[in-house]
Amino acid sequence: MRILLVEDDMALAEGIARALRAEHFAVDTATNGEDGAHLGDTGLYDAAVLDLGLPVKPGITVLKEWRAAGRAHPVLILTARDGWSDKVEGFRAGADDYLTKPFRLEELVMRLRALVRRASGHAASIVSCGPVSFDAQTGQFELDGLPLRLTALEWRVLSALMLRKDVVIDRLDLMERVYDGDANPDSNSLEVIIGRLRKKVGRDLIETVRGRGYRLTEAPQ
C-alpha cells in the first residue's frame, strides 16, 4: 500500500511517515500544496493524508483539483481545524475521512487501513484466498491459521494482490504500490519478491498473466 502524505509541519510529517513505514506502508511526502497536488495527480496511491493549512496552495484547493481531475484515491483530512463548517467543507470537497490534531498515530493507521479496504470493495475486514487470510484492519496475514512472516516489500505486494484477488494487476501498477517515489528498484526486483512469496504461500496461488501482470487466485483443487 502506498500513501501520499501532504503536511507542512516537518517534524509531524517525519513522525507520521516513520509510523506508517513501520506498518509496511510505502510513503511519499510533500510539504506544500503545490507539490502535493502534483504528486496526487501523477502518482498511484492507495490513499492520501492531507493537511488543510498548507503553504502555496490550500489543502481544500488541492482536494478539489484532485476530484475535478477524476483522482479517486481516498483522502483523509488531517488538520487542527475542528469546526463543523471546516468538516462540512472538507467532505463536500471530496474527503473520505476527517481527523483533527492532536491525534493518536494508531488511530490514523487504522483509519487509513479502513479507507483502503473499503476503496478496494471489501466490507469485512478479513479477506481470504485459499490458505491465506488477511486482516485488513490490523495488517496481519495468516497461512493455514498461523501467523505469516513477511518483509515490508512482501507485505505490500501480497496485500495489494489480496485486496484485488481474482483481478489481474498490471506489473507497473503493482510496482508503484510497493515502492516509495524516490526508490530506484532493479528491473527484476518485483519478480524476486513474487518468487519469495510463492515459496511462502504456495506457487499456485499467485498467477503470472503473461504480458499483463499478476493475479492472486484460489489454487486449483
Mean pLDDT of 159-179: 90
Domain containing residue 13: 2-119
Question: What CATH number is associated with residue 6?
Answer: 3.40.50.2300
Residue 221 within a domain: no
- Statement to judge: residues 112 and 133 lie in one domain: no
Domains identified in the chain, total number: 2
Residue 40 within a domain: yes
- Statement to judge: residues 39 and 77 lie in one domain: yes
- Statement to judge: residues 105 and 146 lie in one domain: no
pTM beyond 0.75, yes or no: yes
Rounded CA separation 33/54 (Å): 6
Q: Residues near 115 by Cβ (< 8 Å), separated by ≥ 6?
A: 47, 74, 76, 96, 97
- Statement to judge: residues 95 and 132 lie in one domain: no
pLDDT attached to residue 221: 41
Choosing from 87, 119, 151, the residue where a domain stops is 119
Of 200, 21, 184, nearest in space to 112 by CA: 21
Q: Is the pLDDT of residue 187 over 90?
A: no
